[in-house]
């Protein structure tokens, strides 16, 4: 594939003129570039995936999906109807759709090439796939359909809008090639982050990650899985023509992120964000807090208490991040703080109508750390009764349940390793690796007693405390058929070890006992893609870590 400096300059020039051109003219330019760039070099692509033959995301309607306008269907139909070759060769399709109906009738919305979208199904070739829509919630649909064989006289591929009232549509991407699943997922990540459509509930756990164009992660199923209810973000990536300085949730509770100056929805603040810089805000899964009245909060009167923030390679002229949310139904908590598990920063708030606005200062944040929103600077009183940070480790006093079995569980926010230790004693001490950890106390039934985030600053293990072992899985992610290596050292005892490996459904794929070794090594090839969990049992300790195997 040839490089083309001229085309790059044209694309950059186009984006700089977008706001000064009429909507119709700007649409013609973007469609022309998307189709003719195949003849030169594909400089940008959704998700960083090259080769899109049609990439349409023009905004010229008042309806919004997240912070972005939907496009005019009549213009779309007229412009694409003459591009039969690109449509005939199209194999992989992506659509961002928002339903305008509450009940289905089997009505046809749009026919594009080999694909026809109805309000209850998608038909492609000789296949029909049922679909369901939550009321007014946008969805990403991906279709992989090999072009049908043609015999006899050639008939132009159809482009037609059947009933434009059924859906709002924000983006359409077509590829001639049958994309591999990993590339499909990168395109879906781009669409998910742009339109605030959370994909962490995917039935296949390996496709819940948010992959950047360079295959690193915005959001990780291994690290961030507790915060999987909602994922939204801001950032800039020229590799995929993605620049977002304001966004809002497209379903669920209202949440808006803005850099420096909040503007009307459908617009973007004029602020420079450097290449490959991004920030992600994610919301805690409510399932994990049902039996945990103390987790990260002492009341339910603050809309931010179940969210966390993480910066990735952040560099921008923006000085502040503004966060707007709906006021809670009860009394709003007096204060909100941001914590990394060691430091606390007060967040100023302003009431604007029926919403509350918080201001986060970027000069107090660092890349690659997780920041949690809490209501009290002294942290959760429920936590303080049971946890004490000893600089280089944890000392836990659970005297409130004397004689009962309970467990101390820590999850590293760097590796994802979970260590669980069960005891009936009233106290436990444990050395901790440097970094951030979610610390959870559970009762004999596994229900949460208390939970907190702790950041360990020291690099040396404290004397007299149980040392934390080193557990590593690599490569991460792994490809099917590739050898996965488990390396374990520094175990706290010399007892024998039981290793169990389970797949995403809980089926045991490996179960073996091993004698203790100073450095334990184990290798395995996973032929089937999926999410696998490694569990090590030794005495009262349980160590677990997940690995993703992709195609």
> Measured between alpha carbons, how far is 346 from 97 in angstroms, rounded to an integer?
39
* Greatest mean pLDDT range, 358-367, 381-390, 465-474, 492-501: 358-367
Boundary residue ending a domain (377, 412, 429) = 377
pLDDT digits (tens, 9 = 90+) for 306-343: 999 999 999 999 999 999 999 988 888 888 999 999 89
pLDDT over 70, % of the chain? 82
Residues 246 and 284 in one domain: yes
> Measured between alpha carbons, how far is 502 from 533 in angstroms, rounded to an integer?
5
Contact in structure between 154 and 188 (CB atoms under 8 Å)? no
The answer to whether residue 202 is domain-embedded is no
The answer to whether residue 498 is domain-embedded is yes
475: cis peptide before it, omega within 30°?
A: yes
CATH of the domain at 522: 2.60.40.1930
Tokens (6 digits) for 10? 């044209």
Average pLDDT of the residues in 45-73: 90
pLDDT band at 271, cuts 50/70/90? Answer: very high
Contact in structure between 431 and 439 (CB atoms under 8 Å)? no
> Measured between alpha carbons, how far is 508 from 331 in angstroms, rounded to an integer?
48
The answer to whether residue 393 is domain-embedded is yes
The answer to whether residue 465 is domain-embedded is no
Residues 127 and 251 in one domain: no
Boundary residue ending a domain (377, 409, 440) = 377
Tokens (6 digits) for 211? 């992959």
Which residue carries 């010399």 as its tokens?
494
504: cis peptide before it, omega within 30°?
A: no
Tokens (6 digits) for 300? 């339910």
pLDDT of residue 244: 97
> Measured between alpha carbons, how far is 78 from 189 in angstroms, rounded to an integer?
29
Residues 48 and 158 in one domain: yes
pLDDT digits (tens, 9 = 90+) for 155-213: 456 789 999 999 999 999 999 989 998 899 999 999 999 999 999 988 777 789 999 98
Q: What is the largest CA-CA distance in the chain?
A: 84
Boundary residue ending a domain (326, 349, 377) = 377
The pLDDT of residue 15 is above 50: no
Residues 352 and 413 in one domain: no
Residues 151 and 241 in one domain: no
Which residue carries 């194999």 as its tokens?
91
Contact in structure between 371 and 338 (CB atoms under 8 Å)? yes
Domain count, the chain: 4
pLDDT of residue 431: 81
Q: Is 460 exposed, middle or buried (0-12, 13-18, 19+ CB in 10 A)?
A: exposed
pLDDT digits (tens, 9 = 90+) for 66-102: 999 999 998 999 888 877 788 888 899 999 999 999 8
pLDDT band at 399, cuts 50/70/90? Answer: low
Residues 4 and 143 in one domain: yes
Tokens (6 digits) for 279? 């920030």
Q: Which stretch of DSSP H or E encloses residue 92?
A: strand 92-99
Average pLDDT, the chain: 82
Residues 347 and 403 in one domain: no
User: Residue 392 belongs to what domain range?
Assistant: 381-456
Distances (CA, A) of 458 to 434, 452, 462: 6, 19, 9
Phi (first) and psi of residue 450, to 5 degrees: -160, 165
Residues 191 and 225 in one domain: no
pLDDT of residue 80: 86
Contact in structure between 459 and 393 (CB atoms under 8 Å)? no
The answer to whether residue 432 is domain-embedded is yes
> Measured between alpha carbons, how far is 54 from 220 in angstroms, rounded to an integer?
30
The answer to whether residue 417 is domain-embedded is yes
User: What does DSSP say about strands 370-374 and 337-339: parallel, antiparallel, or unpaired?
Assistant: antiparallel
pLDDT band at 456, cuts 50/70/90? Answer: confident
Residues 172 and 42 in one domain: yes
The pLDDT of residue 433 is above 50: yes
The answer to whether residue 205 is domain-embedded is no
Average pLDDT of the residues in 382-393: 54
Going by the DSSP 8-state scheme, the letter that residue 149 receives in this structure is P
**Of 43-52, 137-146, 286-295, 408-417, the least confident:** 286-295
Q: To 10 degrees, what angle do helices 5-17 and 23-36 make? A: 160
Which residue carries 């060691």 as its tokens?
342
Residues 158 and 76 in one domain: yes
pLDDT band at 215, cuts 50/70/90? Answer: confident
CATH of the domain at 420: 2.60.40.10
Residues 337 and 448 in one domain: no
Which residue carries 């029926």 as its tokens?
354
> Measured between alpha carbons, how far is 291 from 210 in angstroms, rounded to an integer?
29
Residues 294 and 342 in one domain: yes
The answer to whether residue 207 is domain-embedded is no
């Amino acid at each position: 594939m040839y490089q083309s400096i001229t085309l790059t300059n044209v694309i950059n020039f186009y984006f700089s003129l977008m706001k000064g051109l009429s909507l119709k003219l700007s649409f013609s330019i973007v469609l022309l570039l998307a189709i003719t760039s195949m003849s030169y070099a594909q400089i940008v692509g959704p998700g960083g995936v090259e080769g899109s033959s049609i990439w349409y995301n023009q905004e010229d309607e008042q309806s919004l999906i997240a912070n972005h306008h939907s496009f005019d269907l009549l213009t779309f139909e007229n412009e694409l109807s003459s591009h039969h070759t690109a449509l005939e060769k199209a194999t992989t399709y992506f659509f961002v759709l928002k339903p305008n109906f509450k009940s289905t009738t089997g009505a046809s919305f749009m026919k594009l090439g080999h694909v026809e979208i109805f309000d209850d199904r998608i038909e492609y070739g000789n296949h029909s796939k049922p679909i369901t829509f939550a009321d007014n919630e946008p969805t990403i649909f991906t279709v992989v359909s090999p072009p049908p064989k043609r015999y006899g006289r050639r008939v132009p591929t159809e482009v037609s809008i059947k009933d434009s009232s059924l859906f709002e549509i924000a983006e359409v991407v077509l590829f001639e090639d049958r994309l591999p699943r990993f590339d499909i997922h990168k395109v879906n990540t781009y669409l998910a982050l742009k339109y605030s459509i959370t994909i962490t509930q995917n039935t296949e756990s390996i496709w819940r990650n948010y992959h950047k164009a360079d295959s690193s992660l915005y959001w990780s199923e291994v690290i961030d899985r507790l915060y999987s209810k909602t994922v939204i973000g801001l950032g800039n990536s020229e590799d995929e023509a993605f620049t977002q300085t304001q966004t809002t949730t497209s379903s669920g509770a209202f949440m808006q992120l803005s850099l420096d100056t909040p503007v009307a929805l459908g617009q973007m603040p004029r602020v420079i964000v450097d290449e490959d810089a991004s920030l992600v805000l994610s919301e805690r899964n409510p399932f994990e807090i049902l039996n945990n009245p103390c987790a990260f909060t002492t009341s339910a009167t603050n809309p931010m208490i179940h969210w966390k923030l993480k910066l990735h390679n952040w560099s921008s002229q923006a000085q502040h991040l503004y966060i707007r949310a709906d006021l809670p139904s009860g009394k709003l908590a007096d204060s909100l703080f941001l914590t990394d598990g060691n430091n606390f920063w007060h967040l100023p708030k302003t009431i604007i109508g029926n919403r509350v606005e918080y201001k986060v200062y970027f000069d107090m944040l660092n890349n690659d750390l997780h920041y949690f929103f809490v209501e009290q600077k002294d942290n959760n009183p429920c936590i303080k009764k049971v946890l004490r940070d000893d600089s280089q480790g944890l000392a836990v006093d659970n005297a409130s349940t004397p004689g009962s079995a309970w467990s101390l569980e820590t999850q590293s926010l760097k590796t994802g390793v979970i260590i669980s230790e069960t005891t009936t004693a009233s106290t436990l001490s444990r050395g901790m690796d440097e970094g951030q950890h979610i610390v959870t106390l559970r009762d004999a039934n596994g229900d949460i007693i208390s939970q907190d985030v702790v950041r360990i600053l020291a690099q040396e293990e404290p004397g007299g405390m149980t040392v934390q072992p080193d557990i590593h899985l690599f490569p991460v992610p792994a490809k099917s058929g590739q050898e996965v290596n488990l390396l374990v050292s520094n175990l706290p005892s010399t007892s024998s070890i039981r290793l169990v490996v389970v797949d995403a459904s809980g089926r045991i794929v490996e179960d073996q006992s091993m004698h203790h070794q100073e450095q334990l090594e184990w290798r395995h090839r996973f032929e089937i893609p999926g999410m696998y969990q490694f569990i090590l049992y030794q005495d009262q300790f349980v160590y677990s870590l997940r690995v993703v195997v992709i195609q």
